[in-house]
Amino acid sequence: MDFKQFYHYCPHCGSTAFAVSSIKSMKCTDCGFSYYHNASAAVAAFITDKAGRILVCVRAKDPVQGTLDLPGGFVDYDETAEEAIKRELHEELQAEVTEVEYLFSLPNNYLYSGLSIATLDIFFKCKVKNIDLLQAADDVRSFSFIPMEQLNPIDFGLNSIQKAIQKYTKTA
Ligand SMILES: [Zn+2]
């Protein structure tokens, strides 16, 4: 659900006079507090093995649990996007990242706890040390390497990841 339908009270003073003031903001007419629901930054990675196959994960958690995904996640406070992808790849795959190359970014909507979160997903091409030693952990149930021509965007549960797969397989 969009935050403008989801939030009923001013988070500062609790007033119900908390009204939509733009597509991404709400304002309390009692205390004057303005809330902006800006896009959150997220990162995802393309990792290829020696044969050029793409590393693809199965999501262990909702949203869209059980669908395919690229490894990645949200950028933390005070973190660069490059640091975020290195941290996420370590958390999810025990990977030690040796190279991070920016590819492109795509906007997305991520439904979490019933609330639609606007994100800006930032895609990287990453190289990792000892690719044979990767292990699925955290919100990755399992992973496998799939030849690029066998990747099917509709198997991926998140919209921006579907688009990224299309974009990547066209240009790679
Ligand atoms: Zn208020």
Nearest alpha carbon to residue 54 among 136, 165, 140: 165
DSSP character string of 64-99:
STTSEE-SEEEPPTT--HHHHHHHHHHHHH--EEEE
Q: Any idea what the Cα angle at residue 154 is, between residues 3 and 147, rounded to 5°?
A: 130
C-beta separation of 159 from 79 below 8 A? no
Q: How far is the CA of 4 from the centre of ligand 1 (A)?
A: 15
Which amino acid makes up residue 124? F
Segment 48-103, tens digit of pLDDT: 999 999 999 999 888 888 999 999 999 999 999 999 999 999 999 999 999 999 99
> Could you tell me the two tokens for 7?
């939030």
Overall CATH class of domain 40-171: alpha beta
Q: Residue 73 Cα, ligand 1 centroid: separation in angstroms?
A: 32
- Cα(11) to centroid(ligand 1), Å: 7
Phi, psi of 120, rounded to the nearest 5 degrees: -115, 110
pLDDT in the model for residue 172? 67
Torsion sign, CA atoms 162, 166, 169, 172: negative
Compute the distance between CA of residue 140 and CA of residue 72 in angstroms, rounded to an integer.
Answer: 10
Q: 123: CA distance to ligand 1 center in Å?
A: 38
Count CA atoms within 13 Å of residue 37 on its CB side. Answer: 20
Question: How many whole angstroms from 78 Cα to the centroid of ligand 1?
Answer: 28
Residues 6+ apart with CB under 8 A from 54: 46, 47, 48, 145, 146, 147, 148, 151, 168
Q: Please give the distance, rounded to the nearest whole angstrom, from the Cα atom of residue 3 to the centre of ligand 1.
A: 16
Q: How confident is the model at residue 29 (pLDDT cuts 50, 70, 90)?
A: very high
pLDDT at 112 (0 to 100)? 86
**pTM for the model:** 0.91
State the distance from the centre of ligand 1 to the C-alpha of 121, rounded, in angstroms: 32
Question: What is the domain partition of the chain in residue ranges?
Answer: 3-36, 40-171
